[in-house]
Amino acid sequence: MPRIVAERADALPALAEVFREHGYEGASLSLIGAATGLGKGSLYHFFPGGKEEMAKAVLGEIDAWFEQHVFATLREATRPEEGLAAMLDAVDGYFRSGRRVCLVGAFALGDTRDRFAREIRGYFSRWAAALCAALARGGRGAAAAAALAEEILADIQGAIVLARALDDPGAFARAVTRLRRRYEMGR
């Protein structure tokens, strides 16, 4: 059997899945070991800080992914509407059209908010800022852009909650569609 995990970063996707499915407290080292194929010794070699360091690494990778695929796109798009459309595409893909939860949102609601407050707040505030700037470049006033950015983020996060609660990914898909239509980002 080939070695799948050769360095710390290789373990992050499996690690993220465990945290997403079981939450921070529910993600036991046994589950993590099974998901990554690593024994506890290896895990503590890669993450001397234990479970907290594992979760921080996962949050950091999620942040980096959104920074690259979402926030940067929003900031760099020549036409702001293109940035918004690209954001919705990326978000729809990332959340598997509603079949995957937002780990950062789940951590925010759950027992883990205080422990990772900095990371959680950074993720959402930079997302809101990038979206707000794009909306402002699209011609909206500063206050209106900020309010709208907040509303769009709430819609996305709330749709993830509903999709999970109703066991209906369509609830998320419909949210993405209405956001696309509303800002004339349909393709």
Partner DNA sequence: GTCTATAGATCGATAGAC
Partner DNA sequence: GTCTATCGATCTATAGAC
User: What residues numbered 128-187 form the site for a copy of itself, per CB under 8 A?
Assistant: 128, 147, 150-151, 153-162, 164-167, 171, 174-175, 178
Calpha distance 42→69 (Å, rounded): 31
- 39 contacts 29 by C-beta, under 8 angstroms: no
What distances in angstroms separate CA 178 from CA 22, 37, 106, 159, 171, one per listed residue?
Answer: 30, 41, 23, 11, 11
- Angle in degrees, CA 75, 103, 133, rounded to 5: 15
- Chosen residue from 23, 33, 37, 138 binding a copy of itself by CB under 8 A: 23
- Chosen residue from 2, 41, 139, 186 binding DNA by CB under 7 A: 41
182 near DNA, rule: CB under 7 A: no
Q: Please choose, out of 32-40, 60-68, 151-159, 171-179, the segment that lies near DNA by the rule CB under 7 A.
A: 32-40
Binding site for a copy of itself (CB under 8 A): 21-23, 25-26, 101-102, 104-106, 108-113, 117, 120-121, 123-125, 128, 147, 150-151, 153-162, 164-167, 171, 174-175, 178
